């Protein structure tokens, strides 16, 4: 079927992920995958950061550092070793005297341009962040104001409720006193009735005599 | 014992997750109880407008009573109120207005539940987020069982649902993660509830070679089955797959089965088959190296269970807690949160046949222990028994 599908498992490059086929544990494999992707991501970000660095132009390299083409590494090393003592002389013969100075200035110029660009970029990003922050702040303030209004209203309600309950207690006390007075008056009236009854009886007996 | 299954839509042609789930459980429980389905006349889940005739009918031997909706849903109005209740300051009355718009707004269905409460022993409500479940459970809380089919979406945080989750007599959850989510949200640990899910029947024979010939897919392929939609994470899947194809020297293809709402990238290695028959779907699944399930929100992915039942491993989206949990418990699937993880897990599954075999076997074991219909029936019956035995 597929050229890569034909690989045998023992040859299979699982990217340094250990798999215990006898006691397969998905959680463990996923941990390994996560660690590997995290590490990869860190490397990538490090690479990106280093891409921003200013690299000297390859033409600036002295012959001893040049890594050109298909020359076998051993022969290359040997040649470099052989030519090392003559490298200042070669430079002097091959390059004009001011060449190194010019190239240094060019490098510095490129660095400055890159710094300017990065600084502009940073300023732009900062402005955006500021705008977002201020928008977020104004929204949050609005919400806080709304919440504060609700809270004030709730506070007013609580005050009113407090007054109301106080008034109810006063009214209840008054009613209780009133009730007691009425009870006493009823008792007095009952006694009056009893007295009038006994008088009535006495008068009746008198009349009948 | 008489059970009423209450669901938003019901019919043989209705393939929505919760609706299909309800029909399958109702048809299975018919063996043990007197079963009736109470539903609306709706067919379309966007507007809920009346489609089926009113009254009673029998579907696969089950009595189905249909009730009209008061008014169809207005998607524009629904969108506006949804914006208010999701992520904005609002009141409970707004949430109730949202629920009315969410629908299916069928007051006659709720009226029937109230009026005929004594005719049924239990009402089993499907899908917490719809009108019928909310007001139905409020009408008969002491006889209601809720199958929430909840996903980790924004509306589950609404206040009305916190209160709703404390009301029913019992819950039937689809997964451990769903139970944890609902209990964390509403602190309803005192309400009885079991993790049950739904059973799957897998055909015994597959016509995989026929399928390969028909669609001219001789080589290896991975498969996605389901609605092809942004909400299902398909756009991310396309992006990841195409990036992977650039990096990986392989002729593996991505086969897509299901209706699409997205523009599928035109690429030789992405093969879109559209909606297929069940037989063809299983044949396709059987020929695949593994299933990819990129969805962010799933209450229970039936396709994932089908893949495991067939001994196929799964590569799922880790942001869906249910899928992640199931992969971990079954030891039959990997999951990814970013391209790096997707690529590595894909690589592992594609190039190690041994790993695929072991994970497939694990998936089959997990399926047999939890998701055959015999297991599901037993779980439902055990719950009903416990409800019957509980003190009045």
pLDDT tens digits, residue range A149-202? 999 999 999 999 999 999 999 999 999 999 999 999 999 999 999 999 999 999
Q: What tens digit of pLDDT does each residue of A108-156 get? A: 999 998 999 899 999 999 999 999 999 999 999 999 999 999 999 999 9
pLDDT bin (cut points 50, 70, 90) of residue A60 is: very low
Percent with pLDDT over 70 in chain B: 100
Which positions in chain A touch B348 (Cβ < 8 Å)? 14-15, 17, 19, 29, 33
Q: At residue A10, does pLDDT exceed 90?
A: no
Residue whose C-alpha is closest to residue B148's, from B106, B226, B137: B137
pLDDT bin (cut points 50, 70, 90) of residue A71 is: very low
In SS3 terms, chain B reads as: CEEEEECCCCCCCCCCHHHHHHHHHHHHHCCCCEEEEEEECECCCCCCCECCCCEEEEECCEEEEEECCCCCCCHHHHHHHHHHHCCCCCCHHHHHHHHHHHCCCCHHHHHHHHHCHHHCCEEEEECCCCHHHHHHHHHCHHHEEEECCCCCCHHHHCHHHHHHCCCCCEEEECCHHHHHHHHHHHCCCCCEEEECCCCCCCCCCCCHHHHHHHHCCCCCEEEEECCECHHHCHHHHHHHHHHHHHHCCCCCEEEEECCECCCCCCCCCEEEEECCCHHHHHHHHHHCCCEEECCCCCCCCHHHHHHHHCCCCEEEECCCHHHHHHHHHHCCEEEECCHHHHHHHHHHHHHCHHHHHHHHHHHHHHHHHHCCHHHHHHHHHHHHHHHHHCCC
For B341, which of A12, A27, A34 is closest by C-beta distance? A34
What CATH class does B208-369 carry?
A: alpha beta
Q: Nearest CA of chain B to the CA of A32: how many Å? A: 10
Q: At residue A96, does pLDDT exceed 80?
A: no
The pLDDT, as a whole number, for residue A65 is 37
Residue B217 touches partner A, C-beta closer than 8 Å:
no
Q: At residue B95, does pLDDT exceed 60?
A: yes
The strand pair at B253-257 and B314-317 is best described as: unpaired
Q: Nearest CA of chain A to the CA of B202: how many Å? A: 25
Q: At residue B98, does pLDDT exceed 80?
A: yes
pLDDT bin (cut points 50, 70, 90) of residue B300 is: confident
The pLDDT, as a whole number, for residue A156 is 95
The pLDDT of B319-343, averaged and rounded, is: 92
Q: Do B344 and A37 touch (CB under 8 A)?
A: yes
Residue whose C-alpha is closest to residue B195's, from B153, B147, B157, B234: B147
Rounded Cα gap, residues B286 and B208, in angstroms: 7
Longest C-alpha distance within chain A, in Å?
171
Q: Nearest CA of chain B to the CA of A53: how many Å? A: 26
Q: Are B381 and B172 in contact (CB under 8 A)?
A: no
Q: At residue A55, does pLDDT exceed 90?
A: no
Q: At residue A15, does pLDDT exceed 70?
A: no
Percent with pLDDT over 90 in chain B: 68
Q: Helices B17-29 and B302-309 meet at what angle, rounded to 10?
A: 60
Q: How far is CA A205 from CA A198, A202, B120, B174, in A?
A: 11, 5, 81, 97
Q: At residue A58, does pLDDT exceed 70?
A: no
Say how many CA atoms lie within 13 Å of A84 toward its Cβ: 7
Q: At residue A1, does pLDDT exceed 60?
A: no
Nearest residue in B to A146, CA atom: B89
Residue B11 CB neighbours (<10 A): 18
Nearest residue in B to A6, CA atom: B351
Rounded Cα gap, residues B21 and B23, in angstroms: 6
Q: Nearest CA of chain B to the CA of A146: how many Å? A: 10
Q: Do B351 and A25 touch (CB under 8 A)?
A: no
Q: Domain coordinates of chain B in residue numbers? A: 2-199+372-389, 208-369
Q: At residue B28, does pLDDT exceed 70?
A: yes
The pLDDT of B110-115, averaged and rounded, is: 94
Q: Which residue has the higher pLDDT, B55 or B291?
A: B291
Rounded Cα gap, residues B37 and B30, in angstroms: 11
Two tokens, residue B158: 């609404």
Nearest residue in A to B349, CA atom: A14
Q: Reply yes or no: is the peptide bond before residue B104 cis, omega within 30 of 0.
A: yes
Q: At residue A103, does pLDDT exceed 60?
A: yes
CATH for B2-199+372-389, among 3.40.50.2000, 3.30.470.20, 1.10.8.60, 1.10.3720.10?
3.40.50.2000
Two tokens, residue A129: 């962040």
The pLDDT, as a whole number, for residue A61 is 39
Q: How far is CA B104 from CA B23, B110, B112, B125, B272, in A?
A: 18, 11, 15, 14, 33
Worst-scoring range by mean pLDDT, A55-69, B65-79, B167-181, B358-372?
Answer: A55-69
Average per-residue pLDDT for chain B: 91
Q: Record the pTM.
A: 0.64
Which positions in chain A touch B363 (Cβ < 8 Å)? none
Q: What tens digit of pLDDT does each residue of B151-174 get? A: 888 899 899 999 999 999 999 999
Q: How far is CA A155 from CA A144, A149, A150, A158, in A?
A: 16, 10, 9, 5
Q: Are B232 and B226 in contact (CB under 8 A)?
A: yes
Residue whose C-alpha is closest to residue A37's, from B242, B318, B329: B318
As a whole number of Å, the CA-based R_g of chain B is: 22
The pLDDT, as a whole number, for residue B221 is 95
What secondary structure does DSSP assign to A54-66, as a single string? ----GGGS-GGG-
Domains B2-199+372-389 and B208-369 share a fold: yes
A49 exposure class (CB count in 10 Å sphere: 0-12, 13-18, 19+)? exposed
Q: What tens digit of pLDDT does each residue of A74-88 get? A: 777 787 777 878 777
End-to-end, the C-alpha distance of chain B in Å comes to: 17
Rounded Cα gap, residues A31 and A17, in angstroms: 10
For B354, which of A9, A37, A143 is closest by C-beta distance? A9
Two tokens, residue A77: 């090393």
């Amino acid at each position: 079927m597929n050229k890569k599908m034909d690989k045998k498992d023992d040859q299979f490059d699982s990217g340094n992920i250990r798999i215990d086929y006898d006691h397969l544990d998905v959680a463990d494999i996923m941990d390994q995958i996560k660690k590997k992707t995290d590490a990869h991501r860190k490397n990538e970000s490090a690479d990106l950061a280093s891409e921003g660095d200013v690299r000297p132009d390859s033409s600036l390299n002295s012959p001893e550092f040049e890594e050109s083409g298909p020359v076998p590494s051993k022969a290359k090393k040997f040649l470099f070793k052989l030519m090392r003592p003559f490298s200042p002389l070669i430079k002097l013969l091959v390059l004009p005297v001011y060449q190194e100075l010019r190239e240094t200035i060019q490098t510095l110029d490129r660095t400055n341009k890159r710094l300017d660009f990065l600084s502009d970029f940073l300023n732009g990003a900062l402005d955006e962040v500021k705008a977002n922050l201020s928008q977020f702040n104004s929204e949050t303030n609005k919400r806080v104001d709304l919440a504060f209004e609700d809270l004030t209203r709730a506070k007013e309600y609580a005050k009113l409720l407090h007054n109301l309950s106080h008034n109810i207690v006063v009214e209840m006390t008054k009613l209780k006193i009133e009730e007691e007075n009425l009870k006493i008056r009823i008792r007095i009236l009952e006694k009056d009735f009893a007295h009038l009854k006994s008088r009535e009886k006495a008068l009746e007996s008198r009349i009948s005599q | 014992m008489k059970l009423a299954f209450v669901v938003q839509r019901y019919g043989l042609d209705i393939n929505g997750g919760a609706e299909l789930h309800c029909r399958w459980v109702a048809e299975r429980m018919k063996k043990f109880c007197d079963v009736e389905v109470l539903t609306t006349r709706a067919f379309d889940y966007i507007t809920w407008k009346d489609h089926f005739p009113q009254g009673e009918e029998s579907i696969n031997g089950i009595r189905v009573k249909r009730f009209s909706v008061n008014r169809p849903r207005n998607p524009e109005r629904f969108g506006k109120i949804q914006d208010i209740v999701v992520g904005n300051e609002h009141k409970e009355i707004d949430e109730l207005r949202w629920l009315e718009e969410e629908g299916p707004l069928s007051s006659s269905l709720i009226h029937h539940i109230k009026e005929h409460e004594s005719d049924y022993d239990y009402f089993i409500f499907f899908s917490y987020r719809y009108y019928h479940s909310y007001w139905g459970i409020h009408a008969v809380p002491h006889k209601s069982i809720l199958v929430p089919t909840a996903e980790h979406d924004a509306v589950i945080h609404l206040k009305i649902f916190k209160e709703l989750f404390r009301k029913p007599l019992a819950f039937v959850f689809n997964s451990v993660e769903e139970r944890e989510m609902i209990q964390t949200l509403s602190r309803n640990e005192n309400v009885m509830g079991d993790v049950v899910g739904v059973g799957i029947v897998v055909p015994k024979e597959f016509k995989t070679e026929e399928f390969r010939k028909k669609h001219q897919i001789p080589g290896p392929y991975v498969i996605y089955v389901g609605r092809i939609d942004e909400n299902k994470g398909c756009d991310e899947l396309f992006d990841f797959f195409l990036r992977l194809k650039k990096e990986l020297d392989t002729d593996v293809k991505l086969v897509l089965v299901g209706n699409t709402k997205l523009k599928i990238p035109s690429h030789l290695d992405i093969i879109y088959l559209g909606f297929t028959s069940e037989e063809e779907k299983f044949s396709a699944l059987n020929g695949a190296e593994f299933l990819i399930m990129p969805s962010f929100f799933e209450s229970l992915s039936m396709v994932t269970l089908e893949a495991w039942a067939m001994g196929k491993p799964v590569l799922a989206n880790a942001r869906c807690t249910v899928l992640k949990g199931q992969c971990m418990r079954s030891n039959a699937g990997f999951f990814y949160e970013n391209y790096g993880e997707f690529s590595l897990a894909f690589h592992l599954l594609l190039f190690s046949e041994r790993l695929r075999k072991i994970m497939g076997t694990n998936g089959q074991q997990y399926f047999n222990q939890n998701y055959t219909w015999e297991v599901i029936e037993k779980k439902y019956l055990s719950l009903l028994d416990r409800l019957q035995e509980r003190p009045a």
